[in-house]
Structure 1
Amino acid sequence: MSEMRLHDPAGNRLYLNAEERAAFLAAARRQPARDRTLCEALHWTGCRPSELLEITPARVDLSGGTIAVRSLKKRKDASGSAKIVFRSVPVPPEFLDTLNTAHGVRESQASRKKSALPIWPLSRVRVWQIVKRVMIEARLPDAPHRSPKGLRHGFGVHATVQGVPLHMLQRWLGHAQLSTTAIYADAVGKEEQYIAARMWG
């Protein structure tokens, strides 16, 4: 298994910084409803595109303020059998309002059939294309971090900068090992320098 990194071998950043995340979110909010909610869901949950495509209305807790995401990385229980792991990720109430309005989440939850259908019935390639287009519109530089994975890593770095405990972030991101999540703590120093430089300027 390859080790997760926040910089490529040439030292290029593989995550969106705070300014880029804000620009992406602003650009997403100018999109049609489907693309806007898709981008916002990735922004607010840090989930992988393949995990996003499995989200159904039944997994959206409008009153609890969370979205249940199925971890698609293979896990095994004590007997060695594959197990299904869900994680509940808290999201802002405003996003849930937007999601409900755009996709009729509450109405779909009243129907067993509708509540089991994906909110975004798209392919992974289509999700990648939408995210990439929005990132270009947000004027993010043409660099390795301009990707859905850069958005996920940006979520992890942002959460760490904001003081979210690593064990909680581990759960939100669906990492099997805390050591994987700990890479985000390594990036905090660089982000703090960036924030400090803006303060000094």
Structure 2
Amino acid sequence: MSVKQISDQEILSMYLNYERVEKGLSSNTLESYGRDLAIYLDFLSRNKKTILKVARSDIERFLDERKEQGSKVRTVARNKVSVVNLYKFLLMENYISKNPTDNLEVIRLKRILPESLTTNEVDDLLSVHNEKTDKGLRDKAIFELMYSSGLRVTELCSLKIEDISFEGKYLRIFGKGKRERIVPINDSALDILRRYIHTSRVIMVKGKNTRELFLNFRGDKISRVGIWKIVKETMRKSGIEKNVHPHTLRHSFATHLIQHGADLRSVQRMLGHSDITTTEIYTHVDASHLKKQIDKHPKHPKHTRNNI
């Protein structure tokens, strides 16, 4: 297909298909790229430009416009990554001879430490569910698994019964980019999973031939939205006022491992991070925790002042 014949929408479709097929990106990541690039295409259309006929200054104006519209720095940085990746693809496929995103100004993000729960708060959350009901047993199994194994929500929703090794005490997880990893699972989580599979799940499956572990009451695979609702309901019942979302349990899993001496490489493998720098943020979380603990030292100024 020649440059003159290809439209911006065709380029976008071709690029997203490449990311899906060749790089195995998740549907959530593809949707994010698609949204960002739709905004970019709207900008180009308003300015009578096309994807293949832009200068670096045009892309800089696009990012400046996003900032002026009140987008957060993190959002603008994600917009930039989406556009940069698009042009890397076009250069690779010889649709362009020079990448207009070369030497774009780096958007520096302030490192935001993820909020995590204390071990007592985790205990409070796990005590909310009534294990005598089908819903309560399922919901507690979900919480146990998210906290004890640090799963992403999409990984949890896609988990199948055969991915659990009760004898080996591990889970086989297919994470981002369909990368497989093995994650240990503790006895407490295994026990409640076993009970859920042999009781509540038998009722929920409603005779359907589905192998997904967690189901809704229609017998279908539980959705990400369903997990969100369970987390929100559990938070309300627990009385914990933190802004907790499903990923908070993953953060808590990693933070508590680091606090109790787990090495960074092991945590990286369990979380499924391809780059250890992503995992390193939890060492900063632990450092923040330690700084709070030093306040308890009897020689800390706040204690010595009280003794004067």
2-side partners of 1:142 and 1:34: how far apart?
Answer: 23
Change beyond 3 A, Cα 1:60–1:196: farther
Change beyond 3 A, Cα 1:100–1:133: same
Change beyond 3 A, Cα 1:163–1:28: farther
2-side partners of 1:22 and 1:102: how far apart?
Answer: 19
Gaps of 5+ in 1: 8-12, 75-83, 109-113
Deviation at 1:192, TM superposition (A): 2.7
What corresponds to 1:52 in structure 2? 156
What corresponds to 2:118 in structure 1? 17
2:211 equivalent among 98, 109, 117? 117
Deviation at 1:199, TM superposition (A): 8.3
- TM-score between the two structures when normalised by the length of structure 2: 0.51
1-side partners of 2:197 and 2:262: how far apart?
Answer: 30
More helix by percentage: 2
24-33 vs 50-59, greater mean Cα deviation: 24-33
Residue aligned with 2:261, SS: coil
Deviation at 1:140, TM superposition (A): 1.5
- TM-score between the two structures when normalised by the length of structure 1: 0.76
Matched, 1:126 2:230: no
Change beyond 3 A, Cα 1:97–1:19: closer
Gaps of 5+ in 2: 1-76, 79-108, 203-207, 215-220, 304-308
Contact 1:57/1:115, CA 8 A, preserved across alignment? no
Residue aligned with 2:239, SS: coil
Q: How does 1:57-136 map to 2 (within 5 A)?
A: 57-71=161-175, 73-74=176-177, 84-104=178-198, 117-120=211-214, 121-136=221-236
Deviation at 1:195, TM superposition (A): 4.8
Q: Indicate the structure (1 or 2) with the bigger Cα radius of gyration.
A: 2
Contact 2:129/2:137, CA 8 A, preserved across alignment? no
1-side partners of 2:172 and 2:187: how far apart?
Answer: 15
148-157 vs 30-39, greater mean Cα deviation: 30-39
1-side partners of 2:209 and 2:184: how far apart?
Answer: 20
Change beyond 3 A, Cα 1:157–1:171: same
115-124 vs 53-62, greater mean Cα deviation: 115-124
- Structure 1 residue identity aligned to 2:123: A
What corresponds to 1:139 in structure 2? 239
**May I ask how many residue pairs the two structures share in their alignment?**
177
Deviation at 1:58, TM superposition (A): 0.6
Deviation at 1:53, TM superposition (A): 0.8
Change beyond 3 A, Cα 1:100–1:185: same
1-side partners of 2:195 and 2:251: how far apart?
Answer: 28
Change beyond 3 A, Cα 1:27–1:185: same
What corresponds to 2:256 in structure 1? 158
Deviation at 1:196, TM superposition (A): 5.5
2-side partners of 1:5 and 1:135: how far apart?
Answer: 26
Contact 1:69/1:88, CA 8 A, preserved across alignment? yes
Change beyond 3 A, Cα 1:184–1:41: same
Contact 2:268/2:276, CA 8 A, preserved across alignment? yes
Deviation at 1:97, TM superposition (A): 1.8
Change beyond 3 A, Cα 1:167–1:21: same
What CA RMSD, in Å, does the superposition of the two structures yield over aligned residues?
2.9
What corresponds to 1:178 in structure 2? 276
Per-residue CA deviation, residues 143-185 of structure 1 (Å, 9 max, x unaligned), is: 3xx1111111111111110111111100110101011001000
2-side partners of 1:49 and 1:89: how far apart?
Answer: 15
Deviation at 1:67, TM superposition (A): 1.2
